[in-house]
Amino acid sequence: MEPAVYHVEILLSCLNHMKDRLKKNICELEDYAALGEVQDLSSCQKNYIGDVLEYVHCFWTKHLMTIPCNSPDVEEVQKAIDKFSTTHLLFWIEVLSLMGKLGAGCQGHSGPSLINAPSERLYTVRLSQRPGN
């Protein structure tokens, strides 16, 4: 099995996990709570986010960046990314913020950013190309 196939499977699993777990106000904080004022934020993170969701949030983009554009799974990946970006993107950003890792969400961790990824890789999430835009 090609390594790219594993990355497709991992990416799709990450997106499915986020789809299943993400929701508005995942840590059930008070409306308009400032993160700096939340008592025991690390406990909230551990109880409501956990290690698996933290991994998924930080590394799904790395798996995305390793999938070649000529992969037979490109259409499936593009559909999954489009679905995620239209239904869960803001919740993903919320969790990254809660974890203090907002900058990590747009990086392939010690790799290039999604914007600067090599052109031969499937890497773009084009929100502006959604149907109706």
**Counting runs of H as helices and runs of E as strands, what totals does the chain give?**
5, 0
DSSP 8-state class, residue 66: T
Query: The whole model's pTM is what?
Result: 0.73
pLDDT at 127: 37
Give residue limits of the domains in the chain: 3-22+40-124
In the prediction, which pLDDT does 122 show?
44
Q: What are phi and psi of 113, to 5 degrees?
A: -70, 165
Angstrom CA distances, 49 to 56, 86, 121, stand at 10, 21, 30
Whole-number pLDDT of residue 37: 80
* Nearest CA among 56, 45, 51, 72 for reference residue 17: 56
Supply the pLDDT for residue 4: 65
Q: Please enumerate in sequence order all residues whose Cβ is within 8 A of that of 61, keeping only pairs 6 or more positions apart, or say none.
A: 105, 106, 107, 108, 114
The tens-digit pLDDT sequence of the chain (133 residues) is 566 678 899 999 999 999 999 999 999 888 887 887 888 888 888 999 999 999 998 889 888 888 888 888 889 999 999 999 999 999 999 999 888 887 765 554 444 333 334 434 444 443 333 444 4
